[in-house]
Amino acid sequence: MDSVAESSKNRKRLREEEEQQQKEEIEAEETSSTDQTLSLVDSLTFSDTMVALRIMRAQFPHIDKSLRREKVLRVFKLNTGQDDHAIMFLDDYLTQVDRVVKRMEEKKQRNLEVFEWFKTHVIDNKQDPSIDHQELRLLLSHGGKVKDEHISLLINAGLLTRQLIDPNMYWFAIPNIGSILKGLSQGRKELLSLVNRQRYKEMMLAPLEKKRLRLSLLDMRFHLRDLIGSGHLKTVNTPTGLLVRVSKD
């Protein structure tokens, strides 16, 4: 009986570790290594953009040019909102691609050479969040003869998604990001609902950032930054601390 319970605990722990790893791979660090306990109240004393830039500057002190041009980061368009994008370290993204290939190798999938072409000739040469069909085929052709099955494989693997407006255009995508996107959407709704239920539709930031969301893998600080940055929530300085309020417009 004890062994069954222990096995169940181990499976749960492994799932939690995998979910945590996925979250960390698409979420840039919000704190420096010398200040892991910096509260959201402290960081919101300046703009979130400035905080992010200062953290990134400390982490990459010798890079003068755009991190995207230097192939350190990639930007991905998300389907959770018109202006939603994800920023991911390139090496983390390539690790995700390798995981996809490994799973397909185990299933004896054919045409796997396209993934190496994709990494070497497409990802290495195209930093934009999207690519058109003709350019995609052209870049892939540097690796070998391109077939329709190759592009279908990239789509099925979650590395490309077709644009709804123009089927000849693709968005670059992050594989296995579904649970994160679901948590992002549900976490937004849950947090807004929480603040909307408060008197005057406002709540002090300090106790709010300590609450846990039931429907999202992402923590409260992530969702607070997200909704404050998008304008759905705003902060107000008060004598007792920073207040979070639902925006009226």
pLDDT of residue 9: 59
Task: Return the bridge partners of 160, or none.
Answer: 172
pLDDT at site 231: 87
Contact residues for 68 (Cβ-Cβ < 8 A; gap 6+)? 74, 75, 127
Angle of CA points 131, 135, 140, to nearest 5°? 105
The rounded distance, in Å, linking the Cα atoms of 249 and 118 is 44
Residue 228, pLDDT score: 86
Three-state secondary-structure class, residue 164:
coil
Look up tokens 């990134």; give the residue.
56
Q: Is residue 80 part of a domain?
A: yes
Backbone dihedral angles phi then psi of residue 19, each to the nearest 5 degrees: -65, -40
* Pairwise CA distance, residues 78 & 90, whole Å: 17
Instruction: Specify whether 136 is located in the same domain as 219.
Output: no
For residues 166 and 185, membership in a common domain is answered with: no
**pLDDT score at 162:** 92
Q: What Rg do the C-alpha atoms of the chain give, in angstroms?
A: 21
Choosing from 175, 205, 227, the residue where a domain stops is 175
Residues 70 and 146 both lie in one domain: yes
Distance CA 22, CA 20 (A): 5
- The model carries a pTM of 0.68
Tell whether 27 is covered by a domain.
no
pLDDT averaged per 10 residues, the chain (length 249) = 55 58 51 44 52 53 56 85 82 93 91 96 93 97 95 95 91 90 92 93 91 88 87 90 86
The SS3 of residue 12 is helix
Contact 247, 227 (CB under 8 A): no
Position 37 scores a pLDDT of: 40
Both 210 and 137 in a single domain?
Answer: no
CATH code assigned at 101? 1.10.10
User: In the chain, what is the straight-line distance between the N-terminal and C-terminal CA atoms, in Å?
Assistant: 57
Q: Whole domain around residue 206: which residue ranges?
A: 178-246
Could you tell me the two tokens for 221? 């600080």
Strand-strand pairing, 241-246 and 202-204? antiparallel
Number of domains in the chain: 2
From the list 142, 145, 88, the residue with the least C-alpha distance to 119 is 142
Identify the bridge partners of residue 245 per DSSP, sorted by sequence position.
202, 234
47 to 37, 51, 62, 83, 228: CA distances (angstroms): 18, 6, 24, 19, 10
pLDDT at 116: 96
Considering the domain architecture, whether residues 169 and 186 belong to the same structural domain is answered as no
**Contact in structure between 71 and 123 (CB atoms under 8 Å):** no
Which one, of 246, 151, 142, lies nearest residue 192 by Cα?
246
Q: Which of 151, 175, 199 is the last residue of a domain?
A: 175
